[in-house]
Amino acid sequence: MIKFSRVSLIYPHSTTTVIEDLSFEISEGEMVLVMGHTGSGKSSLLRLVNGLVPHHTGGILAGEIIVDGRSTRTSKPGELAGIVGIVGQNPIATFVTDTVEEELAFGLEALNFPNDVMRKRVEEALDQVGLAPLRNRDIATLSGGEQQRLAIAAALVMHPKVLVLDEPTSALDPVASEEILAILHRLVHDLSVTVILAEHRLERVIGYVDRILLIEGDGSSAIGTPSEILKKSDLVPPIVRLTRALDLEEVGTSTRDVRRITEKLRSDLPESERPSHIAGRALVSAKDICLSYGEKEALKEVSIELRASEITALMGRNGAGKSSLIKALVGLMEPKSGYINIDGVNLMQIKQSERSQRIGYIPQEPGDLLYLTSVNDECSRADKDNALPKGATFELLHEMLPSISGNSHPRDLSEGERLTLVLALVLSGAPDILILDEPTRGLDYSAKNRLMALLHNRACEEGTTILIATHDVEIVAEVADRTIFLADGEKVADGSTLDVLLASPAFAPQVAKVMSPRRWLTVSDVLRSQELSE
Amino acid sequence: MSTSFHPLTFWSIFTALAVGVVLSDSAISAFLALGGAAWIVYRFRGDGPWRNSFKWSLIAGLYLIAIRALAGIVIGVPRLGDTLFTLPRIQLPSWMPGIRIGGPVTWERLSFSLHEGLIIATVIALFGAANSVTSPRKLLRVMPSRIYQLAVTLTIATSVFPQLISSITRIRQAQYLRSGRRPRVSQVAIPLLEESLGRAVALAESMEAKGFGLSKVQSRYRPITYSSRDLIYIVAGFIFSGAMVAL
């Protein structure tokens, strides 16, 4: 279905090739995962499939790409609309119209399909992704998962043979992402659609894909079955780290496989406790806060406590009230009733300048805080803002990320580097509370590990109170001491991470699923038991 | 309910009302038209990002009346009548005859200014009301096919605004939380520009990938048709407007 022969790509005004001498073939009805570090050219590769690169972006393409018998060199992306459907990284930015039905019809209208055909196709696509009840809804009112489903449906109306998706689950909670993957799985198996997707959260997709295409930033690449590729890759999901750490011969990619090969281990290993964590005093206490937007209640009598030297995770489905709670905690929204105290002083009574000093806030888009033209400039502004000696912030940044250059433009940094820069800027003010909103979106495993080490260090060494709102179960399992779970504006769970995550099947991390009923969340939990037995 | 109306229905009603208000030039008809508009908006408002345009246009109208009244008090041509109070007068050079700053403020001058402000504000509010009940995008959908491509282009241009506003709020809040001060324009503008460019490119790519612009002729999904209910509303609107002018 898709054939890349000796493909190389270089963008204009650039001296390095994004993709070098890449050859592979994908046959009909295959589901292929494209994997690689951030900035390794995954998105470029995906957009080569329908010719958006280089027709839309510019750049020089060497070699030949044949999709369903047509060369992308001679066919424009629009001419391939009936063959390749593409779903971008941020679906909301790619919607052209106001409502669900109109969006689905847009592509068909553009290619002048007769009305009766359009009606049938729209109906079909709505059913395929389960959006029929929302057909007349305004797109802006859809949830993240619904928007992603709509983007997929908008590609499906064209009856494509190939569906290309760039990080389809990165913004979604575990439940919504399961729904998306189930839809893709069905498309592959029932309709023999060829699916190519890129995703950083391997643990979510690994069980669904037939093959993996691994591209390294240096131009080398490999394609093979998941177990072949994961055997040698350094980007691996927790489940593979587990089999590696236990020195097992096989590399299992599904919970079922690994459960099978670890059966003996599960029953033999002794019980082990997670090292107990000593939290400091309660620094932030929120009592019975209610918050509403117009008639919609966003928070209903939520009480939480954040303690010094403790990392707390805030979880829940999209729209459960996580963002509202964060807005209340940083003082952007005053609760309708209830109060939030910091060190016994009501948050609303503290001046914003003092609040900013005490509460470090990392927004969902770290780039929102960057506006200068170099890393050095951003750092020296932070020095000035926080009355630090010159170069102090850059030193901090350098400690966190030794490879960073002070002269690079913030916009040229990768997602992970940019997040680290913003963290350094905020941490240079030495806040005693740090709040992060969905920090792991778009990060690969190495960037995530760096972030986790940094947060852990902050909490233990400096005694910082940390709150992370996230969908990323694995990061919660690794770093959070305590987990708070919100659902529909109410607090439904608040306790040690171990108890909370094990209680909910949808939000359980991969290792926990494999090791159930044993109470282990991460690879290190299992290893600790192994050490005990020796 | 608003979905079952033809997009042109409300636009023609509100246009008729606006013409009626301007021609009749009376405060009573202006208030009547505003009342009618408020009822229609209350009853048929959509749920899109434009739904609050009426409210915003009313607020803009109030500002406009205030500014017009202030200008009427301070600057202007003398009008005879009952003097309410007298402002100190500023002497202007002789080459600016007929213009006066300060001086006696008469009741007639004040009421004339208020009246004029009211008429302009009403016209603005009526168009705001039209936007509240029918999104401009829906209106573009019924444009003749010859300008359909232009209409789609406009649609996309308008789609940027609601998102732009939410992005500005988000970036301002993030910066405010970091420094505790209201951010300067450049601080917001640069991340905003970056994001908007990214969005624009993503949108253009998505349209290109869906084959937009390849075919000269485009078909229409669910063409919108007139119903008798539309006709009744339009006729009612025109009668209302005609009555205002006649009285």
Determine the pLDDT at residue A27: 94
Determine the pLDDT at residue A255: 87
Give the residue, B74 or A356, on which the prediction is more confident: A356
- CA A26 – CA A381 distance, rounded (Å): 50
Does the CB of B127 have a partner CB in chain A at under 8 Å? no
User: For residues A306 and A312, is the Cβ–Cβ distance under 8 A?
Assistant: yes
Terminal Cα-to-Cα distance of chain A (whole angstroms): 52
Q: Does the pLDDT of residue A190 top 50, yes or no?
A: yes
Determine the pLDDT at residue B100: 74
User: For residues B68 and B122, is the Cβ–Cβ distance under 8 A?
Assistant: no
Interchain pair A367, B173: CB under 8 A = no
Q: How far does the CA of residue B169 sit from the closest CA of chain A (Å)?
A: 11
- CA A212 – CA A230 distance, rounded (Å): 9
Terminal Cα-to-Cα distance of chain B (whole angstroms): 33
Percent of chain B with pLDDT over 70: 86
Per-residue tokens: A366: 């770290």
Q: Quick one: average pLDDT of A443-470?
A: 92
Does the CB of B80 have a partner CB in chain A at under 8 Å? no
User: For residues A433 and A360, is the Cβ–Cβ distance under 8 A?
Assistant: yes
Contacts of A402 (CB under 8 A, 6+ apart): none
Look up tokens 């999209």; give the residue: A318
Surface of A (302-331) touching B: CB under 8 A: 330-331
Contacts 24+ apart (CB under 8 A), A387-390: A388/A428
| Three-state secondary structure readout of B140-193 | HHCCCHHHHHHHHHHHHHHHHHHHHHHHHHHHHHHHHHHHCCCCCHHHHHHHHH
Determine the pLDDT at residue B2: 40
A197: phi then psi, degrees, rounded to nearest 5:
-140, 150
Kindly tell me the burial class for residue A276, based on how many C-beta atoms sit within 10 Å of its own C-beta (0-12, 13-18, 19 or more): exposed
User: For residues A121 and A157, is the Cβ–Cβ distance under 8 A?
Assistant: yes
Kindly tell me the burial class for residue B184, based on how many C-beta atoms sit within 10 Å of its own C-beta (0-12, 13-18, 19 or more): exposed
Interface test with A, best of B159, B169, B173, B219 (most A CBs within 10 A): B219
Total-model pTM: 0.82
Give the residue, A502 or B225, on which the prediction is more confident: A502
Q: For residue A82, which residues of chain B lie inside 8 Å, CB to CB? A: 211
Q: Quick one: average pLDDT of A101-125?
A: 92
Surface of B (159-178) touching A: CB under 8 A: 159, 162-163, 170-171, 173-178
Tens digit of each residue's pLDDT (9 = 90 or more) over A368-401: 999 998 999 999 999 998 899 999 999 999 988 8
Q: Does the pLDDT of residue B75 top 90, yes or no?
A: no
Determine the pLDDT at residue A167: 92
Between β-strands A465-469 and A433-437, what pairing exists: parallel, antiparallel or unpaired?
Answer: parallel
A33 three-class SS: strand
Give the least confident one: A39-53, A388-402, B210-224.
B210-224
* Nearest C-alpha neighbor of A50 from the set A19, A18, A81: A81
- CA B198 – CA B221 distance, rounded (Å): 29
Determine the pLDDT at residue A308: 93
Amino acid, single-letter form, for residue A264 = K
Does the CB of A134 have a partner CB in chain B at under 8 Å? no
Percent of chain A with pLDDT over 90: 60
Q: For residue A81, which residues of chain B lie inside 8 Å, CB to CB? A: 209-211, 214
Interchain pair A90, B207: CB under 8 A = no
Look up tokens 């279905």; give the residue: A1
Tens digit of each residue's pLDDT (9 = 90 or more) over A204-256: 899 899 999 999 877 788 999 998 999 888 889 999 999 888 888 888 888 88
- CA A38 – CA B141 distance, rounded (Å): 41
User: For residues A207 and A254, is the Cβ–Cβ distance under 8 A?
Assistant: yes
Q: What is the ipTM of this complex?
A: 0.87
DSSP state of B138: H
Tens digit of each residue's pLDDT (9 = 90 or more) over A261-274: 888 888 888 888 78
- CA B120 – CA A453 distance, rounded (Å): 62
Give the least confident one: A104-108, A140-144, A294-298, B4-8.
B4-8
Q: What is the mean pLDDT of chain A?
A: 91
- A vs B: CB pairs below 8 A: 172
Rounded to a whole number of angstroms, the CA Rg of chain A reads 24
| Three-state secondary structure readout of A442-509 | CCCHHHHHHHHHHHHHHHHHHCCEEEEECCCHHHHHHHCCEEEEEECCEEEEEEEHHHHHHHCCCCCC
Between β-strands A162-166 and A84-87, what pairing exists: parallel, antiparallel or unpaired?
Answer: parallel
* Nearest C-alpha neighbor of A94 from the set A138, A146, A160, A147: A147
Determine the pLDDT at residue B1: 39
Determine the pLDDT at residue B237: 86
Q: For residue B178, which residues of chain A lie inside 8 Å, CB to CB? A: 356, 361, 369, 425-426
Interchain pair A102, B179: CB under 8 A = no
Kindly tell me the burial class for residue A154, based on how many C-beta atoms sit within 10 Å of its own C-beta (0-12, 13-18, 19 or more): buried
Q: Does the pLDDT of residue A128 top 50, yes or no?
A: yes
Q: Which band of pLDDT confidence, cut at 50, 70 and 90, is reported for residue B78? A: low
Look up tokens 């587990």; give the residue: A242
User: For residues B176 and B170, is the Cβ–Cβ distance under 8 A?
Assistant: no
User: What does each C-alpha distance from A167 to A33, A170, A181, A222, A473 come to in angstroms?
Assistant: 10, 6, 11, 20, 17
Interchain pair B220, A115: CB under 8 A = yes
- CA A138 – CA B30 distance, rounded (Å): 33
In 10 A of CB A363, how many CB atoms? 24
Q: Which of A78, A141, A356 sits opposite B178 (nearest CB)?
A: A356
What secondary structure does DSSP assign to A43-58, as a single string? HHHHHHTTTHHHHTT-
Does the CB of B218 have a partner CB in chain A at under 8 Å? yes
Q: For residue B195, which residues of chain A lie inside 8 Å, CB to CB? A: 365, 367
Q: Quick one: average pLDDT of A167-184?
A: 92
Interface test with B, best of A55, A75, A94, A162 (most B CBs within 10 A): A94
Q: For residue A108, which residues of chain B lie inside 8 Å, CB to CB? A: 219, 221
CA atoms lying within 13 Å on the CB side of residue B235: 6
Q: For residue B179, which residues of chain A lie inside 8 Å, CB to CB? A: 356, 385
Q: Which band of pLDDT confidence, cut at 50, 70 and 90, is reported for residue B140? A: low
Tens digit of each residue's pLDDT (9 = 90 or more) over A467-507: 999 999 999 999 999 999 999 999 999 999 999 999 988 88
Determine the pLDDT at residue A37: 85
Q: Which of A50, A78, A88 sits opposite B202 (nearest CB)?
A: A88
Between β-strands A221-224 and A211-215, what pairing exists: parallel, antiparallel or unpaired?
Answer: antiparallel
